[in-house]
Amino acid sequence: MAVKFQYNKTSLNELGKQLKVRQKALPTLQNKESALRLEVRKAKEESDRLIAELEAALDRYDYLASLWNEFDPNLVAITDVDLHTVKVAGVKTPALGEIHYEIRPFNAFVKPAWYADGVAILKELSRLGIESEVYREKARILDYQRKKTTQKVNLYEKVQIPGYQEAIRKIKRYMEDEENLSKASQKIVKGRHAAEEEEASAV
Q: What range defines the domain where residue 187 resides?
A: 9-193
Q: How is residue 65 annotated by DSSP?
A: T
Question: How far apart are the C-alpha atoms of 88 and 46, rounded to whole Å?
Answer: 15
Instruction: Look at residue 59 and tell me if it is in a domain.
Output: yes
Q: Which residues contact 198 (CB under 8 A, 6 or more apart)?
A: none
Instruction: Look at residue 87 and tell me if it is in a domain.
Output: yes
Instruction: Look at residue 43 and tell me if it is in a domain.
Output: yes
Task: Give the pLDDT confidence of 106-150 residue by residue, as tens digits.
Answer: 776 676 667 778 888 889 999 999 999 999 999 999 999 999 999
Helix 9-60 / helix 161-202 crossing angle, nearest 10 deg: 170
Task: With residue 147 as reference, give the H or E element that holds it.
Answer: helix 115-154
Question: What CATH number should be reported for the domain holding residue 72?
Answer: 1.10.287.3240
Question: How far apart are the C-alpha atoms of 44 and 136, rounded to whole Å?
Answer: 6
Q: Which is more confident, 66 or 131?
A: 131
Question: How far apart are the C-alpha atoms of 169 and 180, rounded to whole Å?
Answer: 16
pLDDT grade for 202, boundaries at 50, 70 and 90: low
The predicted structure's pLDDT at residue 193: 74
What's the whole-number mean pLDDT along residues 170-174? 91
Instruction: Look at residue 1 and tell me if it is in a domain.
Output: no
Percent of the chain topping pLDDT 70: 94
Task: With residue 26 as reference, give the H or E element that holds it.
Answer: helix 9-60
Task: Give the pLDDT confidence of 35-51 residue by residue, as tens digits.
Answer: 999 999 999 999 999 99
Instruction: Look at residue 202 and tell me if it is in a domain.
Output: no
Instruction: Look at residue 199 and tell me if it is in a domain.
Output: no
3-state SS, residue 73: helix
Instruction: Look at residue 58 and tell me if it is in a domain.
Output: yes
The structural domain count of the chain equals: 1
Residue 63 pLDDT > 80, yes or no? no
The predicted structure's pLDDT at residue 85: 95
